[in-house]
């Protein structure tokens, strides 16, 4: 069968279904990383103590923040893995081109990001149940209602998808030349430590605040969709050009 016989979307769809089945190991890694997040959260994500006259007070707070952070790192690294040569070579067994391969990768990343986002918010429930069973003190409920929980899942999915888009671009750039590992790492470390040398301004914190401090959900979603579209497009363009060159 030739590519001409198959539309781009049909080729992407077939590769996407293949990837969903073939990359099952990434799901195992997701479970592992979330369990690790639960373990790290078990002592409380925001423990605070206070001692005054006659009162020695310790407050332990449980939430799925660390689990989400770990899941974001998982999404970032999973996306990088997809751009590596062994994974790209698997696509050669399919009728299609690099564009259909990239589309399949993006669809795969969006799918697993959705599952990861939902699981990361729900895993907070498992953490709270375990905390209530293990600790002697009652665990007070400061959580919002179920409507907010579903909203939280949606937002978590968007954050994880954004991380995967960034990982996909980073992976693509690194595939061009290994020197970019050093350059990107240097850039990241530079952004981390630039604050004292830049009159207290940090581009990294500004970037995080651009998404993290947005309080209007539709605007937040638009920002993430736009950013992810740019990152995925850039990554796809890089991978296409690279394959044409080689």
Partner 1 sequence: MIVLLIGLIIAGVYLLAKKGVIRFKKMSYWVLGIYAALVLISSVAVPLFLDKKPLVKAENEGLMEYEKLYDTLSRAGIGEIDNQYILNRFRFEQFDEAVLTLAANGPYVWTSIFVERKTAADGLIEGFIVGQPLTFNGYVFPEAIKPVELKLEGSTLAIETVNQELNISAARSSFPVRQFTGETNMDDLYVTDQMIYLKVPAGVKVETEDESIYFNYTEE
Which positions from 117 to 156 touch partner 1 by CB under 8 A, shown as an x/- string? Answer: --xxxxxxxx-xxxxxx-xxxxxxxxxx---xx-xxxxxx
Write the DSSP symbol of residue 49.
E
Q: Give the length of the chain.
A: 246
Which of 1, 50, 179, 182: binder of partner 1 (CB under 8 A)?
50
Pick from 1, 5, 53, 92: which binds partner 1 (CB under 8 A)? 53
Rounded Cα distance between 75 and 238, Å, is: 20
Nearest Cα to Cα of residue 155 among 221, 209, 201: 221
Name which position in 15, 34, 113, 164 contacts partner 1 (CB under 8 A): 34
**Residue number, 29 or 184, with CB nearest to partner 1:** 29
Q: How far apart are CA 242 and CA 246, in angstroms?
A: 6
Tracing tokens 């259909």 back to the chain, one arrives at 100
The least CB distance from residue 227 to partner 1, in Å, is: 16
**148, burial (CB in 10 Å: exposed 0-12, middle 13-18, buried 19+):** exposed
Answer yes or no: are the C-beta atoms of 137 and 59 closer than 8 Å. Answer: no
Q: Going residue by residue from 202 to 221, which x/- string records binding to partner 1, judged by CB under 8 A?
A: ----------xxxx-x--x-
For the bound state, the minimum distance from the C-beta of residue 62 to partner 1, rounded and expressed in Å, comes to 5
Residues of this chain that interact with partner 1 (CB under 8 A) are: 24-25, 27-28, 30-31, 34-35, 44, 46, 48, 50, 52-65, 67-68, 119-126, 128-133, 135-144, 148-149, 151-156, 159, 212-215, 217, 220
């Amino acid at each position: 069968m030739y590519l001409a016989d198959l539309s781009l979307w049909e080729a992407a769809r077939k590769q996407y279904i293949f990837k969903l089945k073939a990359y099952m190991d990434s799901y195992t890694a997701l479970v592992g990383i979330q369990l690790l997040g639960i373990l790290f959260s078990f002592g409380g994500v925001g423990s605070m103590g206070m001692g005054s006259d006659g009162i020695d007070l310790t407050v332990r707070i449980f939430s799925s923040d660390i689990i989400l952070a770990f899941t974001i790192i998982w999404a970032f690294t999973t996306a990088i893995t997809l751009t590596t040569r062994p994974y790209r070579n698997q696509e050669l067994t399919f009728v299609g081109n690099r564009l259909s391969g990239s589309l399949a990768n993006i669809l795969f990343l969006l799918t697993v990001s959705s599952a990861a986002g939902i699981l990361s918010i729900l895993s907070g429930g498992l953490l709270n149940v375990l905390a209530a069973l293990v600790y002697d003190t009652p665990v007070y409920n400061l959580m919002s209602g179920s409507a907010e929980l579903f909203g939280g899942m949606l937002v978590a999915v968007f954050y994880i998808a954004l991380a995967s888009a960034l990982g996909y671009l980073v992976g693509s750039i690194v595939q061009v030349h290994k020197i970019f590992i050093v350059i990107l790492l240097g850039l990241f470390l530079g952004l981390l430590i630039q604050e004292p040398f830049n009159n207290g301004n940090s581009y990294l914190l500004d970037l995080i605040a651009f998404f993290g401090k947005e309080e209007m959900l539709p605007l937040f979603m638009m920002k993430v969709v736009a950013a992810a579209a740019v990152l995925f497009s850039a990554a796809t363009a890089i991978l296409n050009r690279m394959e044409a060159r080689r």
